[in-house]
């Protein structure tokens, strides 16, 4: 059963890369959009702003109750050197925000709660194909995703439909993973990470935003869904495709030992990967516009003209 009616949508993390693409798509679909922001800045034409810190209880929670759909995109970046302080920030930014949102959903029978998770949920399985039915892993990111999803699923007890969107690596213009990788290729030092054999589960930003709209139109779908393209690639192939799209060489690898030495545990994560398939989206009939990496990157670089960068930051090159 489809439900194409328009809704009032509340977004946390709406001023980030995903939010800046999702909010205009929702507006174009006829929905009303409100974004929670700490600073009151970063507004998008046509979008209402509510000021507040989602990791803290506050007056912003009252605004949540006025919306039929809540989309939780908030979370501190994982792309940093992991130490105890960084891990605490990564966890609390996700778990506290989600807990406070669920608390604000009191009396929300029939509402929709979309909460971000990640394909890190599955841990690392080499060449094994992973779907929404695959079991969780046991490393830091996997445990974080499990705890994150547990907080979100508490909304089911309040009568909410809960959708857990497990993001892969998002590719798009003006942000996402490419924002970290492009400076290297611009300076002719781009290439695979380590041996380049690790799987890279990715999704084009346009397909990600379209998937959200698709799920709003299909209220019968709930639970975890992998937000990844149906054709993951090895890291080496990704580097080659970026180099081709940019007209740059792509053979210079970032040595694995260097990543581990400088980034510690997170460096090891970059050298692993998952081969994740969006089984539930495909079964439900979602049509990807960019199922293959080469056309996805060609489209991005047709419209994206990155500015030259002088800082070659290998540490954040994912």
Residue 317 forms part of a structural domain:
no
Q: How many structural domains does the chain have?
A: 1
Phi and psi at 269, nearest 5°, equal -60, -40
Residue 107 forms part of a structural domain:
yes
E-strand ranges in the chain read 8-12, 32-37, 48-51, 69-72, 112-118, 129-130, 161-167, 169-172, 175, 199-200, 202-204, 223-227, 233-234, 275-276
Model pLDDT, residue 318: 34
Residue 12 sits in a domain whose CATH number is: 3.40.50.720
Residue 255 forms part of a structural domain:
no
Residue 60 forms part of a structural domain:
yes
- Per-residue CA distances from 223 to 54, 166, 254 (Å): 23, 10, 37
Which has the minimum average pLDDT: 60-64, 234-238, 255-259, 309-313? 309-313
> What would the pLDDT profile of 136-192 be if each residue is shown by its tens digit?
999 999 999 999 999 999 999 999 999 999 999 899 887 666 666 666 666 655 677
CA distance 265 to 260: 7
Per the structure, the complete domain to which residue 48 belongs is given by 8-176+202-230+275-290
The pTM is what?
A: 0.88
- Per-residue CA distances from 142 to 20, 56, 138, 148 (Å): 27, 25, 6, 10
DSSP assignment of 215-275 equals HHT-TT--EEEEES-SS-EEHHHHHHHHHHHHT------B-HHHHHHHHTHHHHHHT---E
H or E element at residue 283: helix 279-283
Decide: 14 and 37 in contact? Cβ < 8 Å: yes
Supply 288's token pair. 């990807």
Q: Which of 112, 94, 111, 228 is nearest to 166 (CA)?
A: 228
Residue 304 forms part of a structural domain:
no
CA distance 272 to 264: 13
Decide: 88 and 135 in contact? Cβ < 8 Å: no
CA distance 316 to 270: 10
Residue 122 forms part of a structural domain:
yes
Mean per-residue pLDDT of the chain: 86
Nearby residues of 307 by Cβ (< 8 Å), 6 or more positions away: none
Residue 144 forms part of a structural domain:
yes
Mean pLDDT computed over 115-124: 95
H or E element at residue 178: helix 176-186
Residue 151 forms part of a structural domain:
yes
């Amino acid at each position: 059963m489809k439900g194409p009616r328009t809704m009032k949508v509340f977004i946390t993390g709406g001023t980030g890369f995903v939010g800046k693409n999702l909010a205009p798509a929702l507006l174009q679909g006829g929905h009303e959009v409100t974004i929670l922001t700490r600073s009151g800045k970063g507004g998008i034409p046509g979008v209402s702003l509510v000021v507040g810190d989602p990791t803290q209880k506050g007056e912003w929670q009252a605004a949540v109750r006025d919306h039929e759909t809540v989309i939780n995109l908030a979370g501190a970046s994982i792309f940093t050197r992991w130490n105890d302080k960084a891990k605490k920030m990564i966890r609390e930014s996700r778990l506290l925000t989600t807990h406070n949102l669920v608390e604000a959903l009191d009396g929300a029978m029939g509402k929709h709660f979309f909460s971000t998770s990640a394909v890190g949920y599955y841990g690392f399985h080499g060449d094994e194909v992973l779907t929404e039915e695959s079991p969780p892993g046991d490393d830091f990111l996997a445990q974080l995703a499990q705890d994150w999803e547990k907080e979100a699923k508490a909304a089911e007890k309040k009568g909410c439909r809960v959708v857990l969107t497990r993001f892969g690596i998002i590719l798009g213009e003006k942000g996402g993973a490419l924002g970290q990788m492009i400076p290297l290729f611009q300076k002719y030092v781009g290439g695979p990470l380590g041996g380049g054999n690790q799987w890279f589960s990715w999704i084009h930003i346009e397909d990600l935003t379209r998937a959200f709209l698709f799920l709003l139109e299909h209220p019968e779908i709930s639970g975890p869904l992998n937000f990844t393209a149906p054709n993951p690639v090895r890291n080496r192939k990704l580097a080659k495709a970026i180099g081709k799209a940019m007209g740059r060489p792509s053979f210079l690898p970032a040595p694995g030992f260097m990543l581990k030495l400088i980034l510690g545990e997170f460096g090891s994560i970059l050298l692993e990967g998952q081969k994740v398939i969006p089984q539930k989206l495909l079964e439900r009939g979602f049509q990807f516009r960019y199922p293959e990496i080469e056309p996805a990157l060609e489209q991005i670089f047709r419209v994206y003209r990155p500015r030259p960068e002088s800082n070659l930051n290998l540490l954040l090159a994912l």
